[in-house]
Each structure stands twice: as structure tokens, then as C-alpha cells.
Structure 1
Amino acid sequence: MSSVKDVASLYQNLKTEWNKKPRKLDKCGELLNKIKIALTQFSFLPSNNAAANQKELILARDVLEIGAQWAVATKDVKAFERYISQLKCYYFDYKDHLPESSFMYQLLGLNLLFLLSQNRVAEFHTELERLPVDIIRADPYVRHPIALEQYLMEGSYNKIFLAKGNVPAVSYTLFMDTLLDTVRGEIAACIEKAYLSIPCSEAARRLNLQSQQAVLEYGKKRNWTLGNDNCYHFNAAEETSASNCGILPSSELAEQTIEYARHLEMIV
């Protein structure tokens, strides 16, 4: 059976590996697995021996915090979600028994960004309601996803693209990229519906793609048709039909408008 001392020794090894530059993520993963098995032998409910119990709780919390950051570094989204789910117990349920962690709001803010990137807006607001008002107003890690959610509601997509260069921590980049992909997909879907054709350069500008090659690769991924005029063409059948007609059926439109007016007059 592992003692607190044994787990603390493993944690120190993990912390040393995690702080190395560059990190050996495989080694960190192995140590995390060993520590998680050892931690299952501990009792994490507050007990009469407050000092010893607090050491166990802090040790477990610190391990889970590195685990959450490791999951982001390895792009293991499912593992990140599991680590955050466990950490919330220490952050909220045991808050009266533990000193506040310096990583708490960084990771809770990261979780808000994760939920936003997954379009889980209802859960985003549920988690936000658990945070103190002063933290919501002032903490940079929490303010960042809140601002992004506001930009999404406003449709200010350009501000979201600009926000990528202003993340509060490197760990935010993974979910920021996911959110940008989602936003870019929404813009692309709108382009497909709103235009019969659009210049390649204009598509790049609207999608916030920085090079000709990037927009060509994106267009290929969405099966867009690139014409010899260096424009993307959508709904080719509709475009051909419209060009063949040459003129709008103005007489038919006029007759329909007059008929609608007559019906409205009868109703009045």
C-alpha cells in the first residue's frame, strides 16, 4: 500500500519532469498513471486529522492540475475533461478545507474556453455561475472566454480571430484553434449560401486566412469549385440558369405584387 510519502515522492518526480524544457510528455504520462493508481488508496473526505488530511487533498489536487495541463499539451480532450471534472471537487466542494490554488482560475477559465469551443453554451453559463462576481469581472483567465462568448453572440467574428494573439496562457491555444475552426466553418457555410461566386482573395479575407495556399487548401477541404477566373463558384446550376435568362421576369413579379395588393385590400 502506498503512503502519502511515496505519492509525494512520485509527485516531485512528475513536477520535475513537467518543468523540464523541453518536456518529455510520455514520461509525464507514465508518472501520472502511477500516481493516479496510488491515490485510489487515500481517503479524500475531510477527517478529524485535519493537517494530514489537508496534505492528501493538496497533493491530489496538485497532481490533477498537472494532469489537466498535460492533457492539453498532448491534445487529449477527453482526458482534459476528466481531470477538470475531478478538480472541480477540490475547487468548490473542499474550498473551506484547502488554500486556494494559484492554477485554479487558469484551469477554470480554460474549461470555459473548452465548453465554448464545443458549442456547449448552456454548460458554459452553468460553470460561469459558480464563479465569484469579482473573479468574473477582473480575472484575465476568466475574462478571455467571456469576451469570446460575447463576440460570438454579436457575430463579431473578426474580434475572435484577433483574440488568438492575446490568449492569457499558452495552454489556451488548443481550444482557441478549435473555436476558430468552428467560426471559420460558420463563415464558410454563409459564403456558400450567400454567393454564387466569390474571388479567392475575398474568400481568404473573410475566412481570415493569411495566404493563397491556405485558402486553396481550405476550399479543397470543403469541395469548393475554383474557376479559371480565380473565383470560387457555388450552386453552379443556379448560376448558369440565371446567366441564360439574362433578365429578371419583371412582368411576372409585377403581376404577383398587384395580386398580393388586391388580397391585402380585401382583408383591410
Structure 2
Amino acid sequence: MSSLIQQHRELLENFTISSSNPSDKEVNKRIRSQLSKLKILLTEAGLLIPSSSANLEGLKVEDLILARDILEIGAFASIRDKDVEGFDRYINLLRGFYDDYSKILPPSQNHQPLIGLSLLRLLSSNSITAFHTALETLPVDVVRDSPYIQHPVNLERWLMEGSYSKVWRARQQAPREEYGFFVDQLMGTIRHEIASCEEKAYDQLPLSDAATLLFFDSMQQVLNFANERGWQINPTTQIVHFSNKSDSASAAKIPKKATITSNLQFAKELESIV
């Protein structure tokens, strides 16, 4: 256990450094390496996935707390690395500590922030049913009073209302820095939905209007997005021309002139019958 305790201490130190400078690649690389070693040590100690009778097998409460803390750091570090699948794995491992050992272990200050992040994860992947199912398992007072839970709850409500500007502002109101990652993913989904509506509603738009509708801060972001969607931009007029391929295909299959002629003929025949 001495090696586990020492490496846990070093992990905490590096994670603290990363918290003040998340872009430090060298520190983040050390954290990933330490987490890999620590998971092996936790497995050997029977702490990575402790059985429901772990408290009867000689494991101490402080050992379980240490294991829980390592997994919580792993979950936060995964988000900083933009590793969503890694985050999911850590959350699944932590559920045993949060559920099975809730009466044995003291509450963790990271519990609510991580539950809030897991709710955001469901929202960002459009898993609305799973979001509501997870929400229903939480105590009512926690849902009502915790800023970590209220953040995704508000986001879901604003999404249902179509209040996308409020979703956009929510990034600056996030209770933890890691929340911004999933809000950004959510905004990416929203932008593509808005873009699909623009393509159906307009043939063209001023570039500045498109930027406003899509909640972009810079023209370069709009240009990158336009390129991704296959939009054409006139550099002189600064007008975005939408590519309506589906509309063109429909027009080719259903000739407008023939359709109008046929409808007029049908109307005349109907009038003569009446």
C-alpha cells in the first residue's frame, strides 16, 4: 500500500498543477502515465472494483477513499484530455463507490460535480431518456440545491424551449471548468441543427447574420463551419450561398411547369363537373 499512497500523492500534485494550467502537455502526460500505473496497483489490491463484501475482507475505509479519489481524478483528467470514452469508464467504476459504499464512506466533494458532468455527457449525446432516468435516481434536494446538477437541468430545459442563446451563455456560468467541454459539444449539435434550418429557409444570407445565428465569436469560425457544411461564400459581397442539393434533386424529378399544367387541367375538369 505504501507505493499506492506515494503515487497517489504524486498524482494529486500533478493534478493540482494541471488545474492551474490545463494546457501543460507534459503534466497531462505524467497524469495519464500515473493513472495507468495506479489502476494496476488498485487491481492488485482489490480496490479497482471492490466486491460488495470488501469491508469484510480486510479493506479499510481509508483504502476505499484513496481508490475513489484516484478514479475521480481520472474522470476529470479524461475530460481535460477530451477522452469521453475514458470518462465513461471512470464514471462506471465510481458508481460502485457512490452506490454500494455510500453508508460506509464519507461523502466525496467530487461526487456532485461528476454526476453533473455525467448528466451533461448524456445531454451532449442527445440521450434525453437516459438523462431523465439518471435525474430521477437523485435525491430531490440535491437536484434542487446543487449548482452542479442545476446546470445540466437548466440546459435541458432551455434546449426543449429552443432558448439557444441561454445555452450559449451557460458556458460562462459553468460551475467547473470541465463542464465547458460538454457545453461546447452541445453547441456543436445546436449549430448544425440551426444550419439545417437556414439551408431550408434561405438561399443566401449575409455572413455577419450567419455568424450571429450560429453563435460564433469570429469570422474564421464561421468560414471553417461554412466549409464543413459545403457553403459557398462570395468574398466580395460577404454573402453565404447555401447548397440545397436535396432541393435540386427534387426539382429534377418533379418538373415545375408540368406539375402546374397538370394541376390547372385538373381544376378545370373539377369545375365542369360541379
Shorter-chain TM-score bucket reads 0.7 to 0.9
Gaps of 5+ in 1: 243-247
CA distance in 1: counterparts of 2:55 and 2:126, whole angstroms: 43
Aligned AA for 1:18?
A: F
Task: Name the CA shift for 1:143/1:50 in 2 (closer, same or farther; >3 Å).
Answer: farther
Q: Which runs of 4+ in 1 moved over 6 A?
A: 236-239, 251-254, 256-259
- Give the Å deviation of 1:210: 2.2
Is 1:233 matched up with 2:236?
no
In the TM superposition, 1:1-268 aligns within 5 A as 3=1, 5-20=2-17, 21-22=20-21, 24-43=27-46, 44-45=50-51, 46-47=53-54, 52-227=59-234, 228-235=236-243
Normalising to structure 2: TM-score of the pair? 0.82
CA distance in 1: counterparts of 2:266 and 2:144, whole angstroms: 54
CA distance in 2: counterparts of 1:206 and 1:93, whole angstroms: 47
CA offsets, 1:114-167, max 9 Å, x none? 111111222212211221111111100110011111111111111111111111
CA distance in 1: counterparts of 2:85 and 2:192, whole angstroms: 23
Contact 1:114 1:175 in 2 (8 A): yes
Contact 2:121 2:182 in 1 (8 A): yes
**Cα RMSD, aligned residues only:** 2.9
Contact 2:231 2:243 in 1 (8 A): no
- Give the Å deviation of 1:110: 0.7
Task: Name the CA shift for 1:144/1:38 in 2 (closer, same or farther; >3 Å).
Answer: same
Higher deviation after alignment, 127-136 or 226-235:
226-235
Normalising to structure 1: TM-score of the pair? 0.84
Contact 1:71 1:80 in 2 (8 A): yes
**Residue 245 of structure 1: aligned partner:** none
Contact 1:42 1:56 in 2 (8 A): no
CA offsets, 1:50-103, max 9 Å, x none? 984312211110000010111111111111110011111111121111111001
Identity %: 38
